Amino acid sequence: MRWVLRSKIHDATVTEANVEYEGSITIDSALMKKAGFLSGEKALVVSKSSGVRLETYIMPGNEGSGIVCINGAAAHLIKAGERVIIMGFELSSKPVKAKKILVNENNKFVKFL
């Protein structure tokens, strides 16, 4: 069994960073569906701006809102305006066809990668 990439949102822009919120990342539910993420799923978030990497869990945001909000203590590490890659992994003994999407600066779907 190996951990393999299953879901990826590439080049998202963090729209908000809220230290006072219970820890997680809030993602537009339309983007979650496109990339195959589930509510409560563990995710790896990597800042293209600073190189920071962190793990958290996903909470769905309003569909079509473009929200990508870093919540809780993680908001000290990744700030609003930073570009991020959000990845989900699956433990599998077989190859997995990952759903990878590219979004624009407004976190709107551009294409599958």
Q: Phi and psi dihedrals of 28, rounded to 5?
A: -45, 125
Q: Token digits for 46? A: 């990597």
Give catalytic status of residue 21 as yes or no: no
CB contact at 8 A, 83 and 15: no
Angstrom distance (rounded) from CA 37 to CA 27: 10
Q: List the catalytic residue out of 57, 65, 92, 93.
A: 57
Q: How many Å separate Cα 95 from the centre of its chain?
A: 22
Rg (alpha carbons) of the chain, rounded to whole number: 13
Task: Report which of 64, 56, 69, 57 is spatially closest to residue 27, judged by C-alpha positions.
Answer: 69
Residue from 24, 39, 49, 92 carrying the catalytic annotation: 24
Q: Establish whether 49 is a catalytic residue.
A: no
**Which are the catalytic amino acids?**
24, 57
